[in-house]
Amino acid sequence: MKRDRKVKIVATLGPASNDYDMIRKLHEAGADVFRLNMSHGSHEEIAERHKIIRQVEKDLDSPIAILADLQGPKLRVGTFGDGPQDLQEGASFRLDLDKTPGDINRVCLPHKEIFAALEPGAHLLVNDGKIRLKVDNCGADFANCTVITGGVISDRKGVNVPDVVLPLAALSEKDRKDLEFVAELGVDWMALSFVQRPKDVWEARELINGRAAVLSKIEKPAAVTNFDEILDASDGIMVARGDLGVELPVQNVPPIQKRLVRKCRAAAKPVIVATQMLESMIESPMPTRAEVSDVSNAIYEGTDAIMLSAESAAGDYPVEAVTTMNNVAIEVESDPTYTDVIEASRKAERHSVADGIVAAAREIAETTEIKAICCFTSSGTTASLVARERPRVPIIAMTNRRSTARVMALTWGCYCVVTGDLERFKQAVVNAARAARASGIASEGDQIVVTAGVPFNVPGTTNILRVAPCDERLIYSTDPE
């Protein structure tokens, strides 16, 4: 399904969007990728949503990416014997491994790994940062703290530890079971939570074993510190601003977002900006002006995708939320300032023949009357390199693998078309012209740029470029030479 924008939209599925009619409406409204949140829903429910997505994809003949988001380890306090407790600023409070119900003075924190990593002066954040504790002294099974920011604490509230790298694997036992289930089910992207270092990504890659592309969620300070190595190990990135804004001062998040997006662009790897983008639309058919500006800023930065969470999963207006994102994207991308910002932030990467080919394709397209850049890609590498250039014209990514077309549905500007196997470059040119005409991107008398790697189906061999007409004679040619 051809869009009138280049940024992609990720929509999370949930109770408000779990049947065929709604999922189809969301895709038609603009959702290019559907996120399955493994924190919610049974395997049976996840499998049913997966089945519906694939049916919508078949009915509309439109490649759709499915992103399975693993929960990651959840750090939570225990329970309280007399209900919620109001911790006062300056009071003492103890965390320990004792499973006895807590009170105003202490509570169980059933994670010995946290105590192993804590040092005096470290901070612990409870209930999304609403309560802040500072460690005074600690041992292998306790931490005596002072309440820096008070508030009400209750059963099983989440705990964040921003100051240390925790000796915890990014994959819990639940995550391992979920990973194997969705990998066998057939998802296109696997999102990893709680990533702190590159070895977390490599561990997951080994388990996934090529069955899905790997996307690392950046939500901890350690992940920001180790970002370059994590990016190298990943196929894509999600800037998960929710936890990131809890563990870091909120004013740090916008510049971090900008830096990470630019690094992903330079590496030709897709990046999603996520969390609270249209939060008010969970209950309102209209977003706030600030939310629209937030979405717009992410698009101006050149992010590959913007994401809806509860807005589409559990909100009252899921279709309206996707439609709003779609309309904002179209408006921003039609602004001349958008082109200026994107081109000013383009970082030249010229290390290979493929880099030179895609750069030349963009320059030709932008200095002549070219309607599209058509690239043939087996693994998706060529299309990703073209997308890194952020050309002004559409990118038609053609592949003989439906799995590649689905993965590329997350990449900026790529209109994905599944084609047959190719043996000669002339066939590639003919198929590209047909796709450009069929999509309405080009018409009789227009020209396109075609790139490919010869021999075909060998990743990383982009080595040829041609400017071709979209005339009837070429399109209906049967000469393979």
Name which of 69, 72, 55, 63 is nearest 20 in CA terms.
Answer: 55
Told to judge if 35 belongs to the known catalytic residues of this protein, a careful annotator would answer yes
- Catalytic, out of 157, 220, 269, 275: 275
d(CA 169, CA 194): 8
Told to judge if 303 belongs to the known catalytic residues of this protein, a careful annotator would answer no
Contact partners, residue 251, CB within 8 Å, separation at least 6: none
Q: Are 235 and 404 in contact (CB under 8 A)?
A: no
Told to judge if 350 belongs to the known catalytic residues of this protein, a careful annotator would answer no
Name which of 68, 479, 450 is nearest 238 in CA terms.
Answer: 68
d(CA 30, CA 403): 20
d(CA 124, CA 19): 40
DSSP structure string for 35-71:
EEETTSS-HHHHHHHHHHHHHHHHHHT---EEEEE--
- Catalytic, out of 76, 211, 262, 426: 76
Which amino acid is located at 67 in the chain? Answer: L
- Catalytic, out of 35, 132, 157, 258: 35
Distance of CA 337 to the CA centre of its chain: 25
- Catalytic, out of 5, 106, 217, 265: 217
Is the preceding omega at residue 455 within 30 degrees of 0, hence cis?
yes
Told to judge if 419 belongs to the known catalytic residues of this protein, a careful annotator would answer no
Residues designated as active site: 35, 76, 217, 275
